Structure 1
Amino acid sequence: MPQNEPAVASAVYVASDVHGHFDRFRDALREKELIDQDDRWCAGDSQLWVLGDLFDRGDAGLETLRLLRRLGTEAEAAAGTVEVLLGNHEMLLLGSHRFGTDRFQDFDGNERQFLQWWIINGGHETDAEELNADEVEWLLHRPAMALVRDTLLVHSDTVSYAEWGSDVDEVNATVRAELDSDDPQRWWQLFRELTRRHEFEGEAGVERASGILGIFGGRLIVHGHSTIPDTTGVEAEEVSEPRRYADGLVLNVDGGIYEGGPSLVVRLE
């Protein structure tokens, strides 16, 4: 390549909130030519970032996790990337695995139990029973956020991330420290903050989004967590593309797969 010709940047794709709907997610990856018909990585040095919530509601969360772990190894061998962010449903599954039926009080004095809340939120017993120690350790080390070029990737549409640090590395270190704790209250608070949503909507949303980008960098926030049908009133089966809002500062890629929407795999421009 001539020295005055810039290198072509690898493609970056994002997806979110698979929620155990493995077949539809796999089909979406094939459609984008990220994997072949044998479910092997075929996208070279491209990047795929899945923004959390692999589990619950659908029954193939573990199958999704295992696919992404293998794809991560295959992508790395081709100078690519496959990575998963920590979502609130990962927190519920990990909390159920760690604390089970233990009862405790949250910081507001309410009695809580991780296993109960995991089941309420669509948890599948087979996921908890078959999740092995290596997979638990892998999940515990997923980042909470990432800055990829000029795009800030998070699971939840919330400003809570700013409570955990003033840059991406500090946020991820804070979350990891909380998960090193034996205190279910601290785990619950982390889960609770990751469930906050809709904080970039409305008149105040633009200012909040701008503030988050000002803290962590980037020109665009990409999130899942809150489905496009939920935030727009559009019928799930009518969703065909991500939603850009808050004066273009925020992109929602959660098509609402468990509501009947698509598994969106979005290439970032």
Structure 2
Amino acid sequence: MGFHARLPLELPQEAADKDGYFSVVLKSQLTVEQAIYPEPKKLFILSDIEGDFVALSRLLQKARVINSQLNWTFEDGHLVILGNLFDQGEQFVESLWFLYGLEGKAQKYGGYVHFILGDHEIVSLNGAWRELQPRYANQLKKGRNAYITLFDGNMEIWRWLKTKNIIEKIGDLLFVHGGISRELLNFDLNLKEINDAARKYYMHANRTFSDPLLQLIYNSVESPLNLRGHDSGTDEEETINAALSKYGVRSIITGHAVIEHISPLFNWKMIHVGSNRKENNFQALYVKRDKYYRLDLNGTKVLMK
């Protein structure tokens, strides 16, 4: 059985209860995520929130994924966080706990929350969080183990993050934070094999690997975590076509790139979903019955396809 923990938040009144708290039920057990999921009736996808809980909760409320009490209202729909929830935003830890708790709420209604890791997650899990969030790394006493650590082997969030994937297929859509490179396709691996190989080194990724696959995932700009290509050109489209064929999907959904608007490429074979926290330009992609909508913080919903 889990239990309720109350976590303090410094949020506008609309984003938490009257005392500025929300509750989380700890999970009785954690299970590694699958790599492939059936197609839901509706999907809500966002990326690169970078620790801005207010933007995260507002987007979800405007899309009616959650209500003003932060409870799930998306029925059997799926929510996809496509990486880079971590960064210098003041509330990335609160955002993590919120998603952790929202998973259980969604599943009660037949819904699902997918948290696909991006490059910021991996960097933070290897120590960068101490600089990004010094208030969570207070030194209590002198010595090697004198820090209150967020992501060591005894922490629930650490264990939970290790269950997450770097690539998933939901229906006939493929989700990855950076992208799919020709180098990755050349390994001829299925999605589970890619995730399993990466997962073993989530907490040890700040090293140089000799293994070619790990070198690609953790030491290369062609990594599915880091790739920023896929913008134009015949070679790019050929790679996309090869990925679509190999994984049996119609589109690849990526984050990572800083863009003004959600952007379809190569006749909707690829869609960039991203936000720009520095300019408070947060957007999300809403997919329902083969219709694609762009939604912003004001709740403006634009039909794209």
- TM-score, normalisation: structure 1: 0.76
Deviates most, 157-166 or 11-20: 157-166
Match of 1:109 in 2: none
Following superposition, the deviation at residue 21 of structure 1 comes to 1.1
Instruction: Tell me by how many angstroms 1:27 deviates.
Output: 0.4
| 1:181 Cα deviation after fit | 5.9
RMSD, aligned α-carbons? 2.7
> 2:242 maps to which residue?
211
Structure 2 SS opposite 1:48: strand
Say if 2:155 is the partner of 1:155: no
Cα distance in structure 2, aligned partners of 1:27 and 1:223: 22
Q: What is the alpha-carbon distance in structure 2 between the residues aligned to residue 183 and residue 24 of structure 1?
A: 30
CA distance in 1, matches of 2:99, 2:184: 25
List per-residue Cα deviations over 1:139-193 (Å, max 9, x = no partner). Answer: 1221111111110011113416536652111111111233376983348864443
Could you tell me how far apart the structure 2 residues matched to 1:171 and 1:182 are?
A: 15
> Which among 263, 278, 282 is matched to residue 258 of structure 1?
278
Q: Report the alpha carbon displacement of residue 264 of structure 1 after superposing the two structures with TM.
A: 1.9
Partner of 2:208 in structure 1?
185
- SS at 1:19 equivalent: coil
State the AA in 1 paired with 2:172.
Answer: D
Q: 1:124 is matched with which residue?
A: 133
**Contact map agreement 1:52 1:85 (CA 8 A) in 2:** yes
Cα distance, 1:248 vs structure 2: 1.8
Whole-Å separation in 1 of the counterparts to 2:158 and 2:123: 12
Task: Tell me the residue number matched to 1:140.
Answer: 162
CA separation of 1:72/1:164 partners in 2, compared to 1, >3 Å: closer, same or farther? farther
Gaps of 5+ in 1: 1-7, 97-114, 230-238
Task: Assess if the C-alpha contact under 8 Å between 1:206 and 1:247 holds in 2.
Answer: no
Instruction: Provide the C-alpha distance between the structure 2 equivalents of 1:19 and 1:197, rounded to a whole number of angstroms.
Output: 18
Structure 1 or 2: more helix by fraction: 1
Aligned counterpart, 2:56: 25
Q: Aligned with 1:251: secondary structure?
A: strand
Q: What aligned pairs does 1:164-175 form with structure 2 within 5 A after superposition? A: 166-175=189-198
For 2:266, the aligned partner's letter is: A
Hey, what's the Cα distance between the residues in 2 that align with 1:183 and 1:40? 37
Q: Judging changes above 3 Å, is the alpha-carbon distance between structure 1 residues 57 and 45 closer, same or farther for their aligned structure 2 residues?
A: same
Shift of 1:257: 2.8
